[in-house]
């Protein structure tokens, strides 16, 4: 098994954060993604899309999917809400505001929904979108406004979906498709969605025609399910973790 040592990520800014996000690994992962022969780039577990946003160039067709509705709507709304609406959003930290926004279930506009979701994502404990915690960046809005034009441009032709990963893999598979697969860590991360096992991920990928790169936690069941594929071990830190200094090994598995 090849081993890649720890190199700190530089932390290019992206507005959505997700537990298990690839902030610390993105530069190393992107280097392993093929640039030639790919017509369609798909992330069936998009989360905050750290890898997608780090790609050196767009592919002809691109798809971001996440089963979590809040994540799905953030991507969709970033595409459509105007910059002038985003300029008016107030990201001052407040527990009361957090609780008020969290209790909202109906929205008068995509801009209101985007504000609610970005605020909750920014000010929740390890970005779990559940309970208030003021770990937000003081420059959140400033950074958002600096990059929002570029981000909207980048997303203009990207298909945003809210489906189960299996359906998305079946739908987009072809010899010229590339999948970056970043499922919830097995037995460690819960997103309030159904548990996905390494066997589930294996079954969705075993017969595909396209190429895939899978990042997973270093669990014996993951190594067992993917024993016939190329596996690299890579050292990282857990993004979104309050014990962010502890380094851990992760696996990068591919069929190419």
Ligand X SMILES: C[S@@+](CC[C@H](N)C(=O)[O-])C[C@H]1O[C@@H](n2cnc3c(N)ncnc32)[C@H](O)[C@@H]1O
Q: Token pair for residue 232?
A: 């690299």
What is the smallest separation between the CB atom of 181 and ligand X, expressed in angstroms? Answer: 9
Residue 66 or 111 with smaller CB distance to ligand X: 66
Residues that bind ligand X (CB under 6 A): 18, 20-22, 44-45, 47-51, 65-68, 71, 164-165, 182-184, 191, 193, 196
179 - beta bridge partners?
A: 42, 212
Q: What length is written for the chain?
A: 256
Tell me how far apart the alpha carbons of residues 35 and 25 are, in angstroms, rounded to a whole number: 18
Residue 97 or 164 with smaller CB distance to ligand X: 164
- Residue 82 burial (CB count, 10 A): 11
CA torsion 34-227-173-61 (nearest 10°) is -30
Residue 94 or 208 with smaller CB distance to ligand X: 208
What is the smallest separation between the CB atom of 29 and ligand X, expressed in angstroms? Answer: 9
What is the smallest separation between the CB atom of 94 and ligand X, expressed in angstroms? Answer: 25
Residue facing ligand X at closest CB distance = 47
Residue 113 or 127 with smaller CB distance to ligand X: 127
What is the smallest separation between the CB atom of 145 and ligand X, expressed in angstroms? Answer: 21
Do the Cβ atoms of 234 and 249 come closer than 8 Å?
yes
What is the smallest separation between the CB atom of 84 and ligand X, expressed in angstroms? Answer: 27
What is the smallest separation between the CB atom of 102 and ligand X, expressed in angstroms? Answer: 17
Residue 109 or 163 with smaller CB distance to ligand X: 163
What is the smallest separation between the CB atom of 113 and ligand X, expressed in angstroms? Answer: 17
171 - beta bridge partners?
A: none
Residue 29 or 89 with smaller CB distance to ligand X: 29
Burial of 104 (0-12, 13-18, 19+ CB in 10 A): middle
Residue 31 or 95 with smaller CB distance to ligand X: 31
């Amino acid at each position: 098994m090849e081993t890649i040592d720890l190199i700190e990520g530089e932390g290019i800014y992206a507005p959505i954060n997700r537990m298990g996000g690839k902030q610390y690994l993105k530069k190393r992962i992107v280097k392993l993604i093929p640039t030639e022969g790919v017509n369609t780039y798909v992330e069936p577990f998009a989360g905050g899309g750290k890898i997608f946003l780090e790609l050196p160039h767009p592919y002809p067709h691109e798809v971001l999917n996440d089963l979590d509705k809040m994540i799905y709507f953030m991507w969709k709304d970033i595409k459509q809400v105007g910059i002038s609406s985003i300029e008016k959003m107030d990201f001052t930290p407040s527990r009361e505001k957090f609780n008020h926004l969290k209790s909202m279930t109906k929205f008068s506009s995509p801009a209101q929904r985007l504000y609610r979701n970005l605020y909750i994502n920014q000010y929740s404990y390890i970005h779990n979108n559940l309970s208030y915690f003021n770990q937000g960046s003081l420059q959140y809005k400033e950074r958002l406004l600096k990059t929002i034009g570029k981000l909207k441009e980048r997303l203009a032709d990207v298909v945003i979906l809210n489906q189960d990963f299996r359906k998305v893999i079946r739908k987009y598979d072809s010899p010229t498709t590339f999948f970056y697969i970043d499922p919830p860590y097995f037995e460690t991360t819960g997103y309030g969605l159904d548990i996905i096992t390494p066997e589930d991920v294996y079954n969705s990928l075993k017969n595909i025609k396209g190429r895939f790169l899978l990042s997973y936690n270093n669990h014996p069941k993951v190594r067992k399910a993917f024993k016939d594929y190329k596996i690299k071990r890579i050292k990282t830190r857990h993004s979104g973790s309050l014990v962010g200094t502890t380094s851990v090994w992760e696996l990068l598995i591919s069929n190419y």
